[in-house]
Amino acid sequence: MLGTKLAGYNLTTCIYNASGPRCTTESELLDLVACKYNGIVLSKSCTLKYREGNVLPRYYETEHLTINSTGLANEGYEFYGDMANKIKSKSDKPYFVSVSGMSINDNLEIINYLQEQPGIDGIELNMSCPNLVGKQQIGYDVYASEELLRRVYEIDLNYVLGLKLPAYFEPVQIEQMSDIFNEFPINYITCINSLGNGLVINPENDQIAIRPKNGLGGIGGSVVKPFALANVYQFRKYLPDMDIVGCGGIETGRDIYEHILVGATAVQIGSTFMKEGVRCFERLTKELEEIMEEKGYNNIDEFRGMVKTFD
């Protein structure tokens, strides 16, 4: 009922984890492998070397909002390459590795290594981490984005490549980035990463909620859903033949339904996964199936991109 085809892979469900929460260590990745209700196992964004990340506290949540400034804490790219064999020995789910090198050359080195590792089915290139001190999100720089993709596609790629994008707040930004993406054989894009440059105050002590970057971090949770939907909706217009993964603000099955309604091929779960763990995938699956049954849909293709407008 929830099956979909993403970048050529037939997935049993359109729901899977976003890179970031609960996908850094071996035990966390194997929890995703064991879960029956997620379609892909996606790793934490990796760098050349192990990163401890930013100082604590770097994560805070309320009922409908999260803020984090993890700073790309991860085990290093070789760890995520080595995990492929362990994952494939337990499941036939596609295994995607998120890549977030600190420079173009870092990304190229990581990608060259990963594509030689058996068991890795795809790469999600992170162009949108908002939580690195002194680093701009490359996805906001049109020329740097084009140069990065040009260099990446000089490699003889033999795997799926997707892009994790920041939120774009002006339609002209989406049009400009779409022009670039149409130049390359990109398999999918993911919209959106957390909203950078947010600030949350803890009402219990009137203190900024996280320590890194003087309290500034990436905002997730239901508050970002309107921006995520808008990005999926607009990119679908300019990239009609490219798969789009919706990510942002998903707390309920209805939220997933709306992402698909505006054109998403699949969805990633971030803040809700962080709060609830893998059990969230079963709950979301049942909620989405209930909505589909009420509306008489047998599969998600029947309502994908069918949002009603006033035109």
The confidence band for 132, taking pLDDT boundaries of 50, 70 and 90, is confident
- The mean per-residue pLDDT over the stretch 284-307 comes to 98
Mean pLDDT value of segment 77-102: 97
pLDDT at position 129 is: 85
Q: Pick the catalytic residue: 23, 35, 46, 129?
A: 129
* pLDDT (tens digit per residue) in 161-195: 999 999 999 999 999 999 999 999 999 999 999 99
CATH number for the segment(s) 4-53+74-195+219-302 = 3.20.20.70
C-alpha to C-alpha distance for 232 and 228, rounded to whole angstroms:
6
Query: Which pLDDT score, from 0 to 100, does residue 63 have?
Result: 94
Q: Is the pLDDT of residue 133 over 70?
A: no
The per-residue pLDDT for 33 is 98
Rounded Cα distance between 133 and 10, Å, is 38
d(CA 217, CA 59): 9
In the chain, % of residues over pLDDT 90? 96
Quick: pLDDT tens for 253-269.
999 999 999 999 999 99
* Mean per-residue pLDDT, 232-249: 98
pLDDT averaged over the chain?
97
Residue range 66-93: average pLDDT? Answer: 97
With 0.95 as the threshold, say if the pTM is over it: yes
Q: In whole angstroms, what is the distance from residue 140 CA to residue 142 CA?
A: 6
Q: What is the mean pLDDT of residues 236-241?
A: 98
**pLDDT at residue 141 greater than cutoff 70:** yes
247 belongs to the catalytic site: no
Interval 90-119 mean pLDDT: 96
pLDDT bracket for residue 278 (50, 70, 90): very high
Distance between CA 169 and CA 173 in Å, rounded?
A: 7
Query: What is the average pLDDT across 240-253?
Result: 98
pLDDT in tens, 17-75: 999 999 999 999 999 999 999 999 999 999 999 999 999 999 999 999 999 999 999 99
**Amino acid making up residue 67:** I
Question: Strand 59-61 relative to strand 66-68: parallel, antiparallel, unpaired?
Answer: antiparallel
Q: What is the mean pLDDT of residues 154-161?
A: 92
What's the CA gap between 148 and 139, in Å, rounded? 10
